[in-house]
Amino acid sequence: MTGPMLDRLEVICRSTAAKWECEVLEFNGEADHVHLLLALTPKMLPSAFVNNLKTVTSRLLRKEGALKNQVQHFLEIMLHGKNLRAVEY
């Protein structure tokens, strides 16, 4: 994971925790994993929260990454097409 991806992941984790009435006390990560220190309510099962958090973060990061890739691909096609037309003239 890149720095911007970790930053976005932290935002998603904190937002999701707030929705579940929990709190991310500490967040840090590396290229292949993250570390979280969480404050959960007594009624919240840690396994249920982590399962939900993994599902939400994965879905959102993939969706945002896919959208970014689609935009980049579209721009590359458009730019490549313009270059070809310029050569033909």
What is the domain range of residue 40? Answer: 3-88
pTM above 0.75, yes or no: no
Q: Is residue 15 over pLDDT 90?
A: yes
Q: How many domains are there within the chain? A: 1
Query: The tokens 């720095």 sit on which residue?
Result: 3
Closest CA to 50 of 86, 16, 6: 16
Q: Would you state the structure tokens that stand for residue 88, as one six-digit string?
A: 């033909």
**pLDDT classification of 89: cutoffs 50, 70, 90:** very low
Q: Would you state the structure tokens that stand for residue 14, as one six-digit string?
A: 């904190």
Q: Looking at residue 40, which CATH number applies to its domain?
A: 3.30.70.1290
Using only C-alpha atoms, the chain has a radius of gyration, in whole angstroms, of 19
Q: Tens of pLDDT along 27-77?
A: 998 888 889 999 999 999 999 999 999 999 988 888 887 667 666 666 666
